[in-house]
Amino acid sequence: MAQNKDETITIRTTHEVKELLRLAAQREHRSIASMLEVLILSHAKKNAIDVDAQETRKRA
């Protein structure tokens, strides 16, 4: 089931970073937003970052 995407992120970056993101997205036939999601999720997985675990620790 698709997740409800109801959050917005706005960032300022350099032309070079934006162009690299655009090229990466184009290479994988993705939108820039989709590419950002893939990169963030990949980074989180690689570095064992888990939102649910973080939220549980906050409440404890």
pLDDT at position 55 is 58
Predicted TM-score (pTM) of this structure: 0.77
The gap from C-alpha 20 to its chain's centroid, in whole angstroms, comes to 15
Separation CA 36–CA 56 (nearest Å): 26
Separation CA 36–CA 46 (nearest Å): 15
| 50, 39 Cβ separation under 8 angstroms | no
What type of residue sits at position 23?
L
The gap from C-alpha 53 to its chain's centroid, in whole angstroms, comes to 18
All residue ranges of the chain with pLDDT < 70 are 1-2, 54-60
pLDDT at position 1 is 55
pLDDT at position 10 is 96
Short-list 18, 35, 17, CA closest to 26: 35
